[in-house]
Amino acid sequence: MEYNTTRSNLILREYGRNFHKLVDYVGNIKSKEERNKMSKTLVEMMKLTHPSFKDQSEVEAKMWDDLFIMSDYNLDIDSPFPMPKKKSKADKPKRLDYPKTKIKYRHYGKKIELLIEEACKLKKEEDKEAAVIHIGKIMKSFFGMWNKESIDSKVIVDNIKELSNNELSIDVEKVNEMNLFFKVTKERGSKHSKHYHSKKNFKSNRPFRKRRM
């Protein structure tokens, strides 16, 4: 009886262990003519077990390539296609590293920090203030999505000061008085937007009826 701990690793798992055993069996046949014959039969079997491959281009070449791969490139046969090159460890794609930079406030995200960094480069004070108002609106929106609740404008102003190393600021009283961090436009698909447009369309499409005298 074979146990999984004693079995060799499958090279192409989609074909299963029985196919790998058949490939090993074909590779141990002494007659090359017989190996060629058995290899063609094995390729046809591979097609039957993967009917979805029929819709793909260059199916025949793929099956023969898989046959060589399952044999660990040791199968000595006459293939109608050139033998694929064995991939080395250097050919494997490099693993992507996670960003190592820490985000100060996760509910705002890294993009906010980049926006603040760009805003600090502005020379005119009115441009900086306009940037702070725009960034503040985004921060308020992001905080609402993260916490499902509102945030005080003073907290946003303090966060902008901290993230900009005190280079960006705005009067909190001005923000509250003019409601500068409030997002006026409603997102498409929201309940308010649907209710407003449906109500508007209902009124506009309603037929005009004359009053009875």
Q: What does the pLDDT average to over 25-45?
A: 92
Return d(Cα 49, Cα 66) in angstroms, integer. 13
Instruction: Say if residues 128 and 122 touch (Cβ distance below 8 Å).
Output: yes
Return d(Cα 135, Cα 150) in angstroms, integer. 16
27 Cβ partners below 8 Å, 6+ apart? 35, 71, 74, 75, 76
Q: What is the pLDDT of residues 77-118, one digit of tens each?
A: 999 888 888 877 666 677 777 666 778 888 888 899 999 999
Is the per-residue pLDDT at 179 higher than 80? yes
Which pLDDT band, with edges at 50, 70 and 90, does 157 fall under?
very high
Q: In terms of pLDDT, which residue wins out, 9 or 113?
A: 113
Domain boundaries of the chain, sorted by first residue: 13-85, 95-185
Q: If we measure between CA atoms, which residue out of 177, 181, 156 comes closest to residue 168? A: 156
Q: What is the pTM of this model?
A: 0.45
Return d(Cα 200, Cα 178) in angstroms, integer. 28
Instruction: Say if residues 74 and 68 touch (Cβ distance below 8 Å).
Output: no
